[in-house]
Structure 1
Amino acid sequence: MTNPNGAVFYASGAVLLLAGCLKLPALWHNPKDELLRSVCALLFTASGVFALAAVPSIAAINRISGVPNTAAPVVYTLLTAFSGSNLVLIIRWSSGPDQAAHAARWSRRCNGATLAVIAAIIGLFALGDAPAERVVDLDTYYANTPYLREMIVLYLVAHTTASVAMTVLCTRWARVVRGPLRAGLVLIVIGYVLNLAFDALKFTAIGARWGGHDLDRLSWPLAPSVAAVAALLIGTGFVLPLLSQLLVNLVGPWHRYYQLQPAWKELRDATRHGISPPVRLRTPIDVRVCRLESDIYDGILAVHPYLDPEVHALSLAEARKTARTDADAAAIADAAALAHAVVARARREDGQGVPPDEQPDDVPLLSSAVNAAGLVLLSRALSKSPIVRATREAAVLESSTR
């Protein structure tokens, strides 16, 4: 962090900028989503803070403006806007759909207070006297200077308030969610705890100046180092759930496609290749899954007259002894009945067995096949269940002895 090129600052800002950009497509499709707008505002503001707080950026702002230390109110203004974005985000997160009007009212108040603090920061800087340019240690160098002292304390208080609120909110939320969202929230909480450490270091160094002591090393380079790590954690915390969802959307259909293969193969053999898989390389995966499911349902319809209620009932009773859930037991029973029906249909096509129109009227309905999740359970049972395997082997043996 002590290097003059500001690489870590720019890297932290880039991570936050990436997090904000990844949210933009969702905001484009839902421009009235206040929560999403608040998240984007927070991420882009935080990115701006780190981009402008780097040593080269501070020097450039001072040089371009021609006024020593102009970068200070610029960075503090952005940091205050970031703190305000935190508070607005808290309001949006903690308010349900029935509290939209209440949330909007408090968001406006928060934005008004943020603007007031920003105006105060600019005004206090204008009233103060900071002739000596301080690129990295302005907070401690001017800790006892009238008006500048109040400006520094004001921005730190605003930042601390927002960090405390975000830490509390995200901790509460992390306790009730699971998966990538919880992991992201944990990272965000750690990031905001580090932000509080940043504030504590700054206040300690400034307080030491007030008491006539020198602890400037806490303000620089230690505090900015902590802030950079905090930014990386917060940015990663916001990105992680989104990237996880993108990965699920990408991998999920392919996973489902391969999960359904056992059912497709079982019924393909039963109908003597009467159904065909979508094998074109350019066929989108969603279309492949849709066609595969359609083929499976066609196959189930073809063998349905050969389903044996007794086989289904016996398999269900056996499955309930070992299955973890009722849905698993039902899927195993359906798969066993389906495997038996496949063999029965093949035997009928060879000139043996009972014709479909002589089957009982109470053939079992495959309850597992009525929804997408059940169809996957059915397919898995066809390939992995020992009950299904035993039923299939018994049906084949019975067929060969006739």
Structure 2
Amino acid sequence: MNGQDYYIPAAALGVALAFKLPALRHNWRDPLLRSVCSLLILAGSVFTFAAPPTIAAVNRWTGVSNFSAPLVYCLITLFSAACLVLIVNWRGGPPEQTRRISRRWIVGYGGVAAVLVVLFVLGEAPVERLRDFDTYYASTPYIQVVIGLYLTAHLVAAVVMVAMCWRWSLQVRGWLRTGLMIIVIGYVFNLSYDATKISAVVARWIGHDLDDLSTYVAPPLASVGALISAIGFVLPLVCQRLSDTWKTWTTYRRLGPLWAEVQPCTPSGTPCVRMPWWSPLELRMIQRESDIHDAFLQLGPYFDDRHRDRAYELARASGSDEETARAVAEAVMLTAAVRARTADPDGAVIVSSDENPTDIPQAPRDLLRISHALRTSPLVAALRQTATLSGRAGG
């Protein structure tokens, strides 16, 4: 593998991290988010520093042959710890217990990383090996323990990661489950990486040569595993955002008929703020709902139960179900109130303070039903036509 084969998965992990950072910025105290971001940072660092061009550069900058070996092994070990800490936080439980278990994994794998450095210093690795360090020094005193120790730590983390994600995927649904299943597939490739590396190292211990497994087969498996895992981490977040955006846009659009109906009744003293089309959709949605609620306050004195009751009876008689009939009745009463308010620009209609004027339900679901009825109900259309004809006759 050349440098690009390492830098591409590192870039993919960087993209995954970029999607997570906004959520971390708004909720940096969340241990789960911190664990995910730590994992992505360490995984990207592993691929960056494990690339042969980076290995050669680090060795040259430090002046120590194979200095990159313990550096990469420590990064892999810390990455394994990040996987286990992530599992602990995903599993949940009492916060103190979660923190205690996380600290144990961090301290344990941190100790392994420290031992790797000590053993490397005690051993001798004078010949620089950019691609086959594991098999070349597999039988060297102290260095062989370094190699076996980091592979074991990585294998344990990969096994636990697969088991935990698989078990969790059976308990959830939707995009989260899809993401977990993708992560499981990615870590199966990581297990294959461990299997090929360990096979090549053990073969060296017993006098055989399977170096090609470690040099040419294992790195592509790790790259593919990293790319797939990155997709698994990003997919639930991206798809959830797209789903939320689509839901907000759909609600915004479906409230359009209701918003257009009550626009003439918005408070005259309230400045009309027009948001540009590039404004965040959430803000535009809030403004639209606020305009509707403000208009309802203005229309309160003009709501007439007689319009609503009559429209409800007609809707039920025509075969509409209970919810549809109520929405049609509210829409008819609202339309009549708008006409009455428009015909009374000076606000001559006064409701006594001890009366509670009829109000229209303002729950989002009710507003959507009313908006739909304003657009589709024959009763609303008939009322509008009657008002138009009356206006022409009066003219």
Fold-level similarity (TM above 0.5):
yes
- Give the C-alpha shift of residue 15 in structure 1: 2.1
Decide which of 285, 289, 294 is 1:289's aligned counterpart: 285
Determine whether 1:178 maps to 2:173. Answer: yes
Partner of 2:257: 262
Determine whether 1:52 maps to 2:49. Answer: yes
In the TM superposition, 1:1-400 aligns within 5 A as 2-3=1-2, 6-96=3-93, 99-247=94-242, 253-268=248-263, 279-281=274-276, 284-285=279-280, 286-300=282-296, 302=299, 304-305=303-304, 307-312=307-312, 315=315, 330=323, 332-341=324-333, 344=336, 366-367=360-361, 369=362, 371-384=363-376, 389-393=377-381, 395=383
Q: Cα 1:298–1:100, aligned 2, differ >3 Å: closer, same or farther?
A: closer
Q: Cα 1:215–1:255, aligned 2, differ >3 Å: closer, same or farther?
A: same
How far apart in 1 are the matches of 2:249 and 2:216?
49
TM-score by length of structure 1 reads: 0.80
- Give the C-alpha shift of residue 187 in structure 1: 2.3
Q: Cα 1:363–1:66, aligned 2, differ >3 Å: closer, same or farther?
A: closer
How far apart in 2 are the matches of 1:32 and 1:343?
49
Instruction: Extract unaligned runs of 5+ from structure 1.
Output: 322-328
Identity within the alignment, %? 41
Letter in 1 for 2:325: A
How far apart in 1 are the matches of 2:78 and 2:319?
60
Tell me if the contact between 1:339 and 1:391 (Cα under 8 Å) persists in the aligned partners: no
Letter in 1 for 2:136: Y
CA deviations 1:285-313 (Å, max 9, x no partner) are 54543332233335555252254224325
Tell me if the contact between 1:312 and 1:364 (Cα under 8 Å) persists in the aligned partners: no
Q: Cα 1:320–1:148, aligned 2, differ >3 Å: closer, same or farther?
A: farther
Q: Cα 1:377–1:207, aligned 2, differ >3 Å: closer, same or farther?
A: farther
How far apart in 1 are the matches of 2:176 and 2:285?
28
- Give the C-alpha shift of residue 85 in structure 1: 1.0
Number of aligned positions between the proteins: 377
Higher mean alpha-carbon deviation, 293-302 vs 225-234, is at 293-302
For 2:303, what is the secondary structure of its paired residue? helix
How far apart in 2 are the matches of 1:293 and 1:161?
53
How far apart in 1 are the matches of 2:39 and 2:338?
64
- Give the C-alpha shift of residue 136 in structure 1: 0.6
Tell me if the contact between 1:276 and 1:295 (Cα under 8 Å) persists in the aligned partners: no
CA deviations 1:287-345 (Å, max 9, x no partner) are 54333223333555525225422432553686775xxxxxxx52x22331134335645
Letter in 2 for 1:391: L
- Give the C-alpha shift of residue 239 in structure 1: 2.5
TM-score by length of structure 2 reads: 0.81
How far apart in 2 are the matches of 1:266 and 1:28?
40
How far apart in 2 are the matches of 1:378 and 1:138?
71
Letter in 1 for 2:311: V
CA deviations 1:16-63 (Å, max 9, x no partner) are 233334433433443433222222211111111111000001112222
